[in-house]
Structure 1
């Protein structure tokens, strides 16, 4: 069991949308990149929605997200976990990222989308109580993780299209 830490947020000052994962998996941590596992559907979906597909260099993908007003981060700052699965996160080891600071620095964020149920559950448990009176629109989207491959890609893409809706 090892202690793992997430990445800093990727966000332009004028971000309007925040996509939250739970904690990067081993492939992402090794690569130093969000959603680096080649079977994770995140960048394929971003390619179809925003032209930020996996064929682009990582920095260009991030730039396209930011240009579209989309920020990317994880709910968990650090935790203990063996392997990559969210189910392996030791619940009492979770420390959330500083969302009070994030939202103060990015006041235009009005919509928060969770990449799967674990991100949503941890946000509601560890973050939301510290954000009284929040007016954020929050919605869970189907996980893009290869561990959740039972849902067809077309269904995931359709669900994720809300991130580009005005």
Structure 2
């Protein structure tokens, strides 16, 4: 199995919201872009919510999210995984990103949204027990996965649920 390495976070110093995935897909790794699979709904949803849609360049999309106070990262720094499916991640091989350092560098973040179940499960099992009590102010919420593998909801349904990210970035959710 090939070792996969995730990306650095997309995050401005004044980020207020963090969206967490698990590990970039094969398509994302090839493009060196978060949510690079053409059928992943993340960028279409960001287009509907913030005007950061897939028709823009990746750099433009990143700038828009950062200007809105949104950070994007993954729970995993490294893992072994054949293909792109979260279910194929070799859990014995995972290395977690440095969340204590990240939250210390981004003290305005108070909301963490998980892009699907694997990100939430691994974070709660491997990150939360290691985080200092000084980060107890963080609020967590799982959102429906934007992956094309999660087909239980269409784009409009996912976007309606993901609208909480826009409210949180605007300080309208506590």
Asked if these proteins are the same fold (TM beyond 0.5), I'd say yes
Bigger drift between 144-153 and 16-25 goes to 144-153
Bigger drift between 132-141 and 74-83 goes to 132-141
How far 1:119 moved relative to its partner? 0.3
Q: Which residue in 2 is equivalent to 1:156?
A: 158
How far apart, in 1, do the equivalents of 2:75 and 2:61 lie? 21
Aligned partner of residue 73 in structure 2, secondary structure: strand
Q: Which residue in 2 is equivalent to 1:140?
A: 142
TM-score when normalising by structure 2: 0.94
How far apart, in 2, do the equivalents of 1:123 and 1:91 lie? 12
Aligned partner of residue 12 in structure 1, secondary structure: coil
> In the TM superposition, what whole-angstrom CA distance separates every residue of 1:5-60 from its partner, at most 9, and x where no partner exists?
10001100000000000000000000000000000000000000000000000000
How far apart, in 2, do the equivalents of 1:80 and 1:59 lie? 28
Bigger drift between 144-153 and 39-48 goes to 144-153
Spell out the pairing of 1:10-89 with structure 2 (5 A cutoff).
10-89=10-89
Q: Which residue in 2 is equivalent to 1:127?
A: 127
How far apart, in 1, do the equivalents of 2:77 and 2:13 lie? 21
Runs of 4+ aligned residues of structure 1 deviating over 6 Å after TM superposition are none
How far 1:150 moved relative to its partner? 2.5
How far 1:111 moved relative to its partner? 0.2
How far 1:132 moved relative to its partner? 3.2
1:5 lines up with 2:5 in the alignment: yes
How far apart, in 2, do the equivalents of 1:56 and 1:66 lie? 15
Aligned partner of residue 139 in structure 1, secondary structure: strand
